[in-house]
Amino acid sequence: MAAEGLSLAGIGKTFRGRGRTVEALREVSLTCPAGSFTALIGPSGCGKSTVMRIALGLEAPDTGTARIAGMAPAEAARSGLTGVAFQDAALLPWRSVMRNVEAPLEVLGRKRDAHTARVRALIDLVGLTGYENSLPGELSGGMRQRVAIARALVTEPQVLFMDEPFGALDQILRRQMNVELQRVWAETGSTALLVTHGIDEAVFLADRVLVMQANPGRIVEAIEVPFARPRAPSLWSDPAFHALCDRIAEALTGGAVDA
Amino acid sequence: MAALPGERASAGRIPPGLRNLVILLLLWEVVGHFGLVAQGALPSPTAILERLWIDRADYPRHIEATLIGSSLGFLFGNLIGVGAGIVFALSPRMLRLFRGVNVAIFSLPAIAIAPILTLTLTGMEPRVVLATLGVYFVTMTATVVGISQADSRATDMVRAYGGGRVKVLTMVQLRGALPSILSGFRIAAPNAVLGAILAEFGGGGDRWGLGVYLLGSLGQGMPTRLWGIGLVATAIAGLSYLAFALIARRFVGATRAVTLNAAVPGGDATDEPLASRLLFAAGSLALPFCFWWLFIWGTGAPWLIAKTPLGVADYLFFSPASASAQARLLHALGQTLPVTGIGMLVGLAFAFLLAISSRLFPEAVRAFMPVALVTQTMPLVALTPLLVLILGRGTSLTLWVTISVTFFPAFVTLAQGLALVPRSAVELPRAYGAGVWREMRMVTIPASLPYLFAATRLTVPRALLGVMIAEWLATGTGLGNLLNQSRGYLDYGMIWTVAAVAVLVSAACYQIVVLAERRVLRRLGMRTAE
């Protein structure tokens, strides 16, 4: 079962700067079962984005192996199994919304015409109907982020990676986007890995929250999130929700003393 | 390279630039009309226009010849520049290997190789080659910078879907580099005109071309004609600049990234073993000389005329005439280098003072900026004959030419760099009650350092070019004169020697500035300004 999802085993990564070496990751292992939603949370500089970049095949680990549906990351990427949304949308500024959403198809060498209907459906799904021909510069921050989500879904990925996809948005917009993301993810049934530094975002979206600490970057705790799906906005004012958030906050700071 | 900032026009009100231009023209008219400058060497605009009208039958063929040469050079230079830029951006090793060639092309004083080109090539070819060289460097740099500054988040997106080097290039980098390349074109366009005119200065018996016309009119005692030619040359260069500025503006709008890219650029792998680094350095040094050989071999010029690097070494050190040649060369260098150094320093100092005082007198500098920008599109050094009229043929001419060709580009580079200093950085000392002077010392002056270095790099070859042209055309001293004389005496060994020495000196000075820049900026934790 895990073979269909994502698994990292014993990942280590060291960066060498000018005469300085930084051990970014040490012995990071995680398994995301197919169809699960996992959140990776940690302070700035703990290496959580590096974990995702290794899983995507953008960086090679020094030790350990990464597998997506049993394949090496680069191989999985080439066969179109993965979808990705970065912080700050990373849209191509000279392409319309429609053409931006289609970009992954182009990289994978798939025919764009065959997918026009789904691209339109995705744009509709993220609530941007009518903006198909707008340029990113003409959209608000939240709208650009929704384009990025639609783009991440266009290849019908089995594994969906998100690196602080709403990091640049304000709290209000962010919560709206969280609700929408949950809906979209539930409709596609993909395996999701969300990298974030927002505790409430992680708890609201994920089945399981992995807490990371820095120097060296490592996973210190895995916390299950028991709330039933679909989760409603009312969850944000639920005392149980806050109790869980507090627990994660504790895990984030607790180990820092002995690190 | 110097690029213009958004040339913004404030609607409704008369822009101060235009107002100043009108004032300047009126002043010029009065001064010219009464012959107040250098016994009438500065004619009034109306007198120049009158002469232009009288000479109107001469112009079309001269303009045509220069335009053909510069357009072909512009075309070739851009093709080679964009192609090489793509290769260099994809392969840092190639960039390192070709560094010597690129530095040599950037720093070669065009006038130094003009005689060589007219000796070995025929017809339009010298103009095309010099124009190509002038264009190549600008476009190549713009392409490399544009490609390597592509949004790393967007390239990550393509790579995350398994896209390789080619996909990243075609989908993100080339399109993202377009504004940079276009702004390169716009700076390269006047360079092409300048290159063609300088090649025409180099002689070669061609009857047509603005450079030929300018040179031929120098002895006629007709200031109005000289000014007319100068204005036409400037207009051509300016119009070509304007055309590409308009095209660039159309594209830039859609291409600017919407948010700031905060990703730290991946450091280049300096883990390479020393042996391989030395190999690349040696190759980079040797390559320009290989090109020299290739050029001679390609043109098939006879050995008597075309000197290889070995030929030049032989002439300078082992031939019977070597003692005299060395003496003449050293004498000329002794005359040229001090003037170049002083002129450059003064030009840079003026530019620096004026640029940092833009914080003190923003209005005055804003009004001056359009003038400085206009000069960017002028083939300034090609207008040396005009300065000869006003300043005569002494050392002061050389100095003024040098100062003027270094001051304007340096000022534009510095002023634009300072405009990039974040407002918050400037306001921080103010918020704690600092005066203007303290604010300058804490923020503006340190922030301007990278641009001061960039300006110095930019002006080294220009200063040498300016001095050599002045020497060639007017003062009869230094390297420029030695080159011109050797041309007359058919002293081919000396022609090649002066060209090689001029390029070497210029490249060495450039390299010294680069090394100093790296040291200082690294200590201050700053990055090199492009």
Per-residue pLDDT tens for B88-98? 888 888 888 88
Q: Which residues contact A206 (CB under 8 A, 6 or more apart)?
A: A37, A38, A39, A194, A225
Does the structure show a pLDDT above 70 at B195? yes
Residue with tokens 């270095």: B453
* Mean pLDDT of the B493-514 span: 91
Q: Is the pLDDT of residue B232 over 70?
A: yes
Q: What pLDDT, on the 0 to 100 scale, is given for residue B5?
A: 42
Do residue A88 and residue B153 have CB atoms under 8 angstroms apart? yes
Q: Cite the DSSP H helix spans in B121-265.
A: 125-148, 152-160, 165-168, 174-201, 210-217, 223-255
Give the pLDDT score at B132.
95
Write down the H helix ranges in B256-359: 274-299, 309-313, 322-356
Question: Considering CB atoms only, which of B154, B159, B255 is closest to A58?
Answer: B159
Cβ atoms of B104 and B498 closer than 8 Å = no
Omega before B45 cis (within 30°)? Answer: no
User: pLDDT at position A18, please?
Assistant: 63
Distance CA B468, CA B340 (A): 9
- The Cα B466–Cα A70 span in angstroms is 67
Whether residue B167 lies within 8 A of chain A, CB to CB, comes out as yes
List every span in chain B annotated with CATH 1.10.3720.10.
44-255, 309-530
The pLDDT assigned to A247 comes to 93
Residues 132-151 of B with CB under 8 A from A: 151
Q: Give CATH superfamily name and number for A1-71+159-168+190-259.
A: P-loop containing nucleotide triphosphate hydrolases (3.40.50.300)
Q: Is the pLDDT of residue B3 over 50?
A: no
Q: Does the pLDDT value for residue B262 go beyond 60?
A: no
Which of A18, A92, A135 is nearest residue B154 as measured by Cβ atoms?
Answer: A92
The CATH number, out of the four listed (3.40.50.920, 3.30.70.260, 1.10.3720.10, 3.40.50.300), of the domain defined by the range B309-530:
1.10.3720.10
| Nearest residue to B147 via CA among B183, B177, B184 | B177
Q: Which conformational region is residue B300 in: left (phi greater than 0), alpha (psi within -120 to 50 degrees), or beta?
A: left
Size of interface A-B (CB pairs under 8 A): 79
Q: Which residues of A touch B151 (CB under 8 A)?
A: 90
Check pLDDT > 70 for residue B268: no
Question: In this structure, which CATH number among 1.10.10.60, 3.40.50.150, 1.10.3720.10, 3.30.70.920 belongs to the domain B44-255?
Answer: 1.10.3720.10
Report whether A186 contacts A137 (CB < 8 A): no
Average pLDDT, chain B: 82
Confidence of residue B68 (pLDDT cuts 50, 70, 90): very high
Report the pLDDT averaged over residues A120-124: 89
> Is residue A257 scored above 60 in pLDDT?
no
Question: Average pLDDT for residues B311-318, to the nearest whole number?
Answer: 89
Q: Which residues of B touch A57 (CB under 8 A)?
A: 159-160, 162
- Does A71 reach chain B within 8 Å, measured CB to CB? no
Q: Does B527 touch chain A (CB under 8 A)?
A: no
ipTM, interface predicted TM-score of the complex: 0.76
In chain A, what percentage of residues exceed pLDDT 70?
A: 95
Q: Do B160 and A161 touch (CB under 8 A)?
A: yes
Q: In chain A, what residues touch B169 (CB-CB under 8 Å)?
A: none
Query: How many whole angstroms separate alpha carbon A175 and alpha carbon A169?
Result: 9
In the predicted structure, residue B131 carries a pLDDT above the cut 90: yes
B161 interfaces chain A, CB cutoff of 8 Å: yes
Give, as one character, the DSSP assignment of residue B256: S
Q: What distance, in Å, lies between the first and last C-alpha atoms of chain A?
A: 35
- Cα(first)–Cα(last) distance of chain B, in Å? 7
Task: Give the pLDDT confidence of A23-52 residue by residue, as tens digits.
Answer: 889 999 999 999 999 999 998 888 888 999
- Taking the Cβ of residue A259 and every Cβ of chain B, the question of whether any pair is shorter than 8 Å is answered with no
Of A1, A64, A8, A10, residue with least CA distance to A36: A1
A162/B41: higher pLDDT: A162
- How far apart (Å, rounded) are the C-alpha atoms in residues B307 and B494? 10
What is the pLDDT averaged over residues B471-477? 86
Q: How confident is the model at residue B22 (pLDDT cuts 50, 70, 90)?
A: confident
Task: List Cα–Cα distances, A191 to A7, A37, A71, in angstroms.
Answer: 11, 6, 15
| Interface mutation vs chain A, best among B149, B151, B156, B157, most A CBs within 10 Å | B157
